[in-house]
Amino acid sequence: MVKDIATPNRTKEILQKHGFTFKKSLGQNFLIDTNILNRIVDHAELTPETGAIEIGPGIGALTEQIAKRAKKVVAFEIDQRLLPILKETMEPYPHVNVIHQDVLKADVHDVISKEFEGISDLMVVANLPYYVTTPILMKLLEEKIPVRGMVVMLQKEVADRIAAKPGTKEYGSLSIAIQYYTEAETVMIVPKTVFNPQPNVDSAVIRLIRRSEPAVHVVDEDFFFKVVRASFGQRRKTILNNLTNNLPKGKENKQQIEQALSAASVDPKRRGETLSIKEFGLLSDELLKSMR
């Protein structure tokens, strides 16, 4: 019987044996609570046919629990010092493949086609490095990585923004960027005490289930996201002010912006944070027509 990696004693033993010291700059906060790990993996609903992608395996605490349930695990780790450790800790799990790479630079499509041949159900499961949470999520979503979804640990404050609903103070361009591609839900709040070393911020686990179609159909996706970002430019300003100030050539096109708001039935005095994704979709299509 193999001892779990994620206990305070075994983790300490592994770190000491290899003389490993944490790099704060790489967001290295390792999980030392098997119970929490199991609950994270539960939310991913892995089956013996699932292929799992992990980002940042560390010494393999989460990797091990995923490996017990999935058909295959591919884990991207940036820190070379962890490779010999993972080689040892993952020895009982030959279906785990660690790739030494910055996930932000990886060709994930290529890795998937090589590593998961014949596997159709894919999930991302990770305790993300907090300094790059948003770039990692956006890369995977924008590149349309063919996964069923993602269950990831991140800063609670970011989780709140990702899962926020219109009309709340957390709702913003990040909520829309993520909810455009997925159904987002916070599934766990996690105390600092389950990490070594403990992070400075509170943590949460979110589950993102990929939509089969985006939340709204728009003529031009890039322009849609430009409109969304422009609308949240200054939160206290009205949508009309934000669009005229922040859209390219907005000031020259104030009249056209007013027309588009009217055509999309959006009161120009409303604030960006009150608009649903569908309203933003309609508005961006109208703006595209009127500003052309």
Q: What is the distance, to the nearest Å, from the Cα of residue 150 to the centroid of all Cα atoms in its chain?
A: 7
The nearest distance, CB 130 to ligand SAM, in angstroms, is 7
* 266 interacts with ligand SAM by CB under 6 A: no
* 30 interacts with ligand SAM by CB under 6 A: yes
Pair 93, 67: CB distance under 8 Å: yes
For the segment 100-139, give every residue that binds ligand SAM (CB under 6 A). 102-104, 127, 129, 132
Annotated ligand binding at 241? The verdict is no
Among 14, 20, 28, 93, contact with ligand SAM (rule: CB under 6 A): 28
Residue ranges of alpha helices (H) inside the chain are 8-18, 34-44, 61-67, 83-89, 108-115, 133-142, 156-162, 173-181, 221-231, 239-246, 254-263, 277-291
Among 55, 124, 205, 218, contact with ligand SAM (rule: CB under 6 A): 55
Annotated ligand binding at 29? The verdict is yes
Annotated ligand binding at 77? The verdict is yes
Tell me which residue has its CB nearest to ligand SAM. 56
Instruction: Select the span of 14-22, 57-65, 168-176, 184-192 touching ligand SAM (CB under 6 A).
Output: 57-65
CB-CB neighbours of 54 under 10 Å: 27
* 154 interacts with ligand SAM by CB under 6 A: no
For the segment 74-103, give every residue that binds ligand SAM (CB under 6 A). 76-79, 82, 102-103
Pair 53, 123: CB distance under 8 Å: yes
Among 29, 175, 179, 241, contact with ligand SAM (rule: CB under 6 A): 29
Pair 242, 261: CB distance under 8 Å: no
The nearest distance, CB 16 to ligand SAM, in angstroms, is 16
Nearer to ligand SAM, 27 or 272 (CB): 27
The nearest distance, CB 269 to ligand SAM, in angstroms, is 43
Report the C-alpha gap between 199 and 227 in whole angstroms.
35
β-pair type (149-155, 203-210): antiparallel
Report the C-alpha gap between 156 and 28 in whole angstroms.
17
Pair 202, 232: CB distance under 8 Å: no
Q: Which strands, in side-by-side order, build the sheet including 203-210?
A: 96-100, 72-77, 50-55, 121-127, 149-155, 203-210, 182-190
Annotated ligand binding at 38? The verdict is no
* 20 interacts with ligand SAM by CB under 6 A: no
Report the C-alpha gap between 193 and 197 in whole angstroms.
9
Binding site: which residues?
Answer: 29, 31, 56, 77, 102, 127
Binding residues for S-adenosyl-L-methionine, as ranges, are 29, 31, 56, 77, 102, 127
The residue ranges that bind ligand SAM (CB under 6 A) are 26-31, 55-58, 61-62, 76-79, 82, 102-104, 127, 129, 132
